[in-house]
Amino acid sequence: MRNPVQDYLEQIVEQCGDSGGEVAAYIPELAAADPDRFALCLASVDGQVYEVGEADHRYSIQSMSKPFTYALGLHDQGVEAVARKVDVEPSGDAFNEISVSPDTGRPKNPMINAGAITASSLVSGDSGDARFARALEWYGRFAGRELELDTSIYSSELGTAHRNRAIAHMLREFGILEGDPEEVLDQYVRQCSVAVDTRDLALMAATLANGGRQPRTGEQVLDPTLVEHVLSVMTTCGMYDAAGDWVTAVGIPAKSGVSGGIIGILPGQVGLAVFSPRLDAHGNSARGVALFERMSTDMELHLMHVSRGSRSALRSSYSLATARSTTRWQGADQEVLERVSDRARVYELHGDILFAGAEAVVRQVVQDAPELAIFDLTHVNDIAEVSRVTLLALRDRLREEGSEGIAVDPDGVFPDPDAGTDQASPIFTDLPTAIEWCERQLIRTHCGPRKEPDPVEDHPLVRDLDGAALEAVRAAMTRRTVPGGEVVLEAGGGFAGIHLIVAGKAVAEDTGPDGELMTLVTMGPGTSFGELALGTGEVQETTIRAATELELLVLSADDLARITEDDPAVALPIWQAMARDGYRVADRALRRSAVRAG
């Protein structure tokens, strides 16, 4: 089954086509880049990656290395020591501006070149080679694999790094850099020349989105408090002199690189990466900016978007094999459900369903590929627009596969745009009713040609008997008609025999924790009640009421006692059949209760 998230990403890539711009020309190797290459990757905080385009094409990381180098400096030296060397104020300048504070000599922030060169010097190590080796290993821990230096980019960039060389010597003059500025410059250029692909960058971004824990390896790479620090600086400074426009239009922490990449982080949800080499006037990927703006609008990514921000959407999922309805099915119907009930699944959602939550639900459903899917929205507070669209797209994909998705939505949090048409999905106010609907659908689909079940002959009590035992039961049974609404068995009464329903419906009722009467099970023709009292000290624990007019066949307690006393050999198979049916009913109730408790 196609994943709607993948479909959405492919759709917006097609809609956000060429946005103009030119490749970076000041570095010969970058000037030779194919301007039409493209990739978009979205990585969830649990490691799922969606890809469009050439996700495995490698290019130099360039300035997208800056937040990770800054993070390493913070990790090695501490926030206060780093703050003495580089500030965190937006500069409003281009990335390569020679920009320092006139009174302290500190660079304005670590996202411009002056601050990034300073941050490189703060990585622990007794030489430029040692510091670069440490930075390379650090980047790889965020990406989840070992990364390598692109030597051709390194040579090309180092040979043209005249402005950055001037910045390094100026920083040495102000005492911001210590030691040989050429060594620090060489380290910085190598860091910018590390080869990555768009998948790497999405996972690096997702690691920051996940509070510093790499989604696939599970390693806690960076302390969460330092993640907050890094993301704050990225938000205000990551897009250089376009930072104000970016925060307004997109509103997520981000960093661009002149190779054509942009990474973005939505904390707690996803990491994003786009690669398209044509740059705008600010040195940011033109098509990348357009795509981020579109995704921010569609997916409600903006940090200032008002939401309660619940992270976990999928509370639990389970098949109908472990959570059947309260309806007792008979004969062939029951046999069909025993065989195919695992083809229907319940997905219980809760909280506020943001994009990341909807994506997790979609991924689970695509993996399960159920024939019928019940989305229980009873505990959902709110559904973001992007999540609503994503879940509706999931319903459409299910239908394309010959499946169906239905909802339990007592509070109307997920209105169906197709309501009132043939395309509308079934909506229920409670889960048991939805499960019963699915059971009926499974029976209708999988039962095949068969004779109409006989409510008496197909009941396990009768079906499993033959010879003298069958004749004894048939002879002892008496017919009884009960008007709708009348109590058949009262809770607390003694064992009153086996009541087999020939026509109509009955319900078993009990008092809930809040004192209100609740229906435990609904029974139709071919099912029976009363036998469970044999396992509870011969005390009827629930009240059995006729939901409609009932026609019953009753094998009374006195008749059972008489058969047992007159001919124990005849009585034995009757008691065995009763025990088997009672066990089946009790087992199903216990499994249903276990799923609810879980």
The torsion angles phi and psi of 215, rounded to 5 degrees, stand at -60, -30
Torsion of CA 335, 340, 342, 347, to 10 degrees: -110
- For residue 532, give the DSSP letter: G
The candidate with the shortest Cα–Cα distance to 469, out of 568, 398, 347, is 568
Show me where the domains of the chain are located: 4-299, 314-446, 460-597
Beta strands in 487-536 (DSSP E): 487-489, 498-503, 506-511, 517-523, 528-529
Beta bridge partners of 148: 195
The full length of the chain comes to: 598
Q: How far apart are CA 246 and CA 256, in angstroms?
A: 11
CATH fold of 314-446: Transcription Regulator spoIIAA (3.30.750)
CATH pick for 460-597 out of 1.10.10.10, 2.60.120.10, 3.40.50.300, 3.60.21.10: 2.60.120.10
Quote the pLDDT of residue 30.
Answer: 87
Mean pLDDT of residues grouped by 10 in the chain (598 residues)? 90 88 85 93 95 96 97 97 92 62 83 95 95 98 97 93 92 92 96 98 97 96 96 90 83 93 93 95 92 87 58 82 76 85 94 88 94 94 89 93 92 84 84 88 81 63 77 87 92 88 85 76 78 78 90 89 87 79 61 48
Quote the pLDDT of residue 523.
Answer: 77
Query: How many other CB atoms are found less than 10 A from the CB of residue 93?
Result: 16
Query: What is the chain's Cα-based Rg?
Result: 34
Same fold, 4-299 and 460-597: no
Quote the pLDDT of residue 1.
Answer: 83
Quote the pLDDT of residue 454.
Answer: 63
Q: Give the pairing type, strands 498-503 and 550-555.
A: antiparallel
Coil, strand, or helix at residue 473?
helix
Q: Give the pairing type, strands 372-383 and 427-428.
A: unpaired
Q: Which residues are catalytic?
A: 63, 66, 188, 240, 258
Quote the pLDDT of residue 585.
Answer: 61
The two structure tokens encoding residue 20: 């103009």
Coil, strand, or helix at residue 409?
coil
Q: How many whole angstroms from its chain centre is CA 189?
A: 39
Q: How far apart are CA 109 and CA 515, in angstroms?
A: 64
Coil, strand, or helix at residue 302?
coil
The candidate with the shortest Cα–Cα distance to 229, out of 43, 73, 62, 44, is 73
CATH fold of 4-299: Beta-lactamase (3.40.710)
